[in-house]
Every structure is written in structure tokens, then in C-alpha cells.
Amino acid sequence: MSSYIERMQQALPDLQQKAEPLILGIESSCDETAAAVVAGGRRLLSDAVYSQIDLHSVYGGVVPEIASRAHVEKIGPVVQRALLDAGLSLHQVDAIAVTHGPGLVGALLVGVSYAKGLALALNKPLLAVNHIEGHICANYLSHPELAPPFLCLVASGGHSHLVEVLEGQRYRLIGCTQDDAAGEAFDKAARQLALPYPGGPLLDELAEQGDPHRFRLPTPHTQQPMDYSFSGLKTAFVNLCHQFRQRGEPLPKADLAASFRMAVVDQLADRAEKAIIQGGHRRFALAGGVAANKLLRQRMQAICDEHGIQCYAPSLRYCGDNAAMIAAAGHGVLKRGALVDLSLNAQPALRLI
């Protein structure tokens, strides 16, 4: 009798010929339990998400044990929902794509184990997806016409990367953060302003009413000109807030939020602009949770207009964690025939490159 992987390799050529293979995506790397069905890597059939934010917000951040437990409880119903909304039975799905890293190990393991069980029971290929690659592929759902090569700024709670996206899901790293990620910096600054977790979106809203020029925050110097650094900025912001408290003065929250947001966006956008010029790129895309930031979207659109290049960003729903982006990325994995066997494990520190 042939092994699971032998059977999958035999079935692969037929599947690769299909115009629009149906991929069930599963995402559980952090605090969203998500499942989605995508046809042909670009056409969304369903998208189900259970957000754990309410469970974690009382603690001011994600509690890994609580996240794993909630994933175990919700993954079955979330997958059922995605199939129901797509009008499909499990047997009609062509392949199962799952995030295997980076992320919280216990949380990842829930999705990986569930996907492996499904793949074996249904006799369908298992596709291992890198979460960061998933964020990049979210752009294909909102902009089906987008194709590599393009420059992408991936900014989320755990990552800040400038990458060149090449044909065949290959990537070239242009720059990355030396310390904190942009989303993490937003969340920490938001905490200083007593905004609940995750504070990034709330800080963004508050910043709309503030004066971004009231406080001057430091611009970091990184060893590599395209790298990022947010930890000095964060410390300067904490000290600034502390000074107000020491003087017994109320925090001018909107002005603080606006000044901080501008400092983060200035840094993200300046490096991206340099990379656009140096690389002669014709297309630029934003990705990751921070791609939802209003000022960052406006700034990158303006920069791209100035250089006469196309600017893309996922629709707001696909900036944060979701499984549609995992199914979209899984399509590329299927196309290049990179099937995995049932020994697939969670890789909490998986890198894109």
C-alpha cells in the first residue's frame, strides 16, 4: 500500500492542471481562529474568523495558554462555518493549507494538527504556509490582477519586513526590524495612553484628532539603511508620557498619538521610498495588520503617485490575521508542488527568507 505522501504526489499533476483548485485555509498562529475557502488563489468563497480579543484584552495582551485552549474549542465550528458559507462539503475541497509558523507554538499546533487530521482522513494534499507570506498574499484577494515582481512592506504585530516579491513565491529581503515590530510599538504606545489591547487601531483613530507636530520623537539610525528600529522611539514615548504624569498633568492623548503615529509612519515610509527608488520598482504593496493604518496607507499612496508606480494594500478585512490569505498563499505552494507529509510540525520562529 502506498504512503500518504506517495498518493499525494501521484494526484498532484491533475490538481495543478485545475483552473481553480479549491483550497481550505486554516490559521491559528496567534489570537484568531480562522478558516476560509479560496478558489484559484484569488477568488474568495468564504471566510470565517473567531476573534479571541475579548478573552485576552482583560490581560492587556495575548495569553498563550488561553489562546491554545480557545483554538481547540473553536477550530471545528470555524471550519464548519467556512464550508457551509462556501456551499461545499469537506470532500469537495482540493487541498488543505495551514499556517505552520511563525507564531505561538501551542496555538500553531492546534491548526497544524487539525489540518493534518483532515488531510489524512480526506486523502487530500497538505500545504504548509508561512504566516508572513500569507499576509503578502492577502493582496491577491483584494487585487486579483497583482502579480510579482513587486516591493512589499509587511508590518504586523510580530514583523516589519521590506521584501521584494519575485516569481514562484521567492523573496529577497531588503530590510527588517532590528528590534520591535511596528505593530508591537503601536500597541505599547497605546498602552501608555490607557487604550485597551490591541491598541494599534485605537491609537490610529485617536491620532486623527491630534496635532502630529506637537512632539518631536527621535528618528533611529540603523546599521543597514533599509532596516527599521522602533525600540528607541517607544522608550522616548514612554518617557514623554512619564513627564506629564510626574508633573501631575493630564496626558494630551490625541497629540501624543498623532506624534507617535507620524514618527512610525515616517520611518516605515521613508525606507520604503528609498527601496522603491533604488530597486526601480513599478509596483508596491502593503501587508500585515499595520497596513490598516490610515496615515500609512495615505502616505504610501502619495509616495507611489509621486513616483508614478502602482500602490496596493489589502482591503481592511484582510490586513489583520485571517485564513483567506493562508488559502491564497497555499495556492502558490500547490502550484510549485511543495507538498508536505504528516510529520509537519509547528515552527514558532519560522522566517520568510
Q: Number of residues in contact with ligand KG4, rule: CB under 6 A?
A: 20
- Please give the Cα distance from 314 to 149 (Å, whole number): 17
Closest separation between CB of residue 8 and ligand KG4, Å?
Answer: 29
> Among 125, 175, 210, 288, which residue interacts with ligand KG4 (rule: CB under 6 A)?
288
Query: In degrees, to the nearest 5, what angle opens at C-alpha 328 toward C-alphas 325 and 332?
Result: 135
Centre a 10 Å sphere on the Cβ of residue 100 and count the other Cβ atoms it contains. 25
Report the first-to-last Cα separation within the chain, whole angstroms: 37
**27 near Zn ion (CB under 5 A):** no
**156 near Zn ion (CB under 5 A):** yes
At 23, the amino acid letter reads I
Which of the stretches 54-62, 145-153, 303-311, 318-326 binds Zn ion when contact is defined by CB under 5 A? 318-326
Comparing CA positions, the residue from 2, 49, 61 lying closest to residue 327 is: 49
**200 near ligand KG4 (CB under 6 A):** yes
Q: 293 touches which of ligand KG4, Zn ion, none (CB within 5 to 8 A by kind)?
A: ligand KG4
Would you state the cell numbers that stand for residue 14, as one nine-digit string?
491533475
> Among 107, 290, 324, 339, which residue interacts with ligand KG4 (rule: CB under 6 A)?
290
Q: Which residue has the cell 504556509?
A: 129
What does the CA dihedral 24, 30, 31, 33 come to, rounded to 10 degrees? 20
Instruction: Spell out, one character per residue from 3 to 22, where the chain touches ligand KG4: x when CB under 6 A holds, - when not.
Output: --------------------
If the CB atoms of residues 184 and 255 are measured against ligand KG4, the closer one turns out to be 184
At 238, the amino acid letter reads V
Comparing CA positions, the residue from 26, 33, 105 lying closest to residue 72 is: 33
If the CB atoms of residues 14 and 205 are measured against ligand KG4, the closer one turns out to be 205
Q: Which residue has the cell 492623548?
A: 253
Closest separation between CB of residue 205 and ligand KG4, Å?
Answer: 8
**198 near ligand KG4 (CB under 6 A):** yes
Strands across the sheet with 170-176, in order?
A: 170-176, 160-166, 150-155, 283-287, 310-312
**125 near ligand KG4 (CB under 6 A):** no
**293 near ligand KG4 (CB under 6 A):** yes
Binding site for ligand KG4 (CB under 6 A): 30, 135, 156-158, 183-184, 186-187, 198, 200-201, 204, 288-290, 292-293, 320-321
Binding site for Zn ion (CB under 5 A): 156, 321
